[in-house]
């Protein structure tokens, strides 16, 4: 079986700004916890809902040993081994 690969990255850089009198870590990274607990799950749901609208592609999360706090890889696969007429 021959397999081809191509990568596409969509990167999010998370930042928080604080007033000059902020004494570092006072919020115990609450802004990042909000991203982890609220924004990221909602974003992933929307992404997977959209990708699943394309039934000729299978989609799953792939773990390459990087913490899911830092990276989530979404693997997409199009299988032509059963029906070569789908190449177009």
86 is a domain residue: no
pLDDT digits (tens, 9 = 90+) for 61-88: 998 888 988 999 999 999 888 766 655 5
Q: Report residue 26 as tokens.
A: 């006072």
User: What pLDDT is recorded for position 30?
Assistant: 92
User: What pLDDT is recorded for position 37?
Assistant: 96
pLDDT band at 22 (very low <50, low <70, confident <90, very high): confident
27 is a domain residue: no
33 is a domain residue: no
Whether pTM exceeds 0.85: no
Given a contact cutoff of 8 angstroms between Cβ atoms, the answer to whether 75 and 62 are in contact is yes
- 65 alpha-carbon distance from chain centroid: 14
Number of domains in the chain: 1
Residue keyed to tokens 């706090």: 69
Q: Containing domain of residue 55, as a range?
A: 51-80
- pLDDT at residue 58 tops 90: yes
């Amino acid at each position: 079986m021959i397999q081809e690969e191509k990568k596409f990255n969509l990167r999010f850089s998370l930042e928080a700004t604080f007033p000059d009198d902020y004494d570092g870590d006072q919020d115990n990274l609450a802004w990042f916890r909000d991203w982890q607990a609220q924004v990221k799950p909602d974003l992933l749901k929307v992404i997977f809902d959209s990708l699943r609208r394309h039934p000729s592609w299978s989609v799953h999360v792939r773990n390459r040993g990087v913490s899911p706090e830092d990276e989530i890889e979404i693997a997409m696969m199009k299988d032509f081994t059963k029906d070569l007429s789908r190449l177009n």
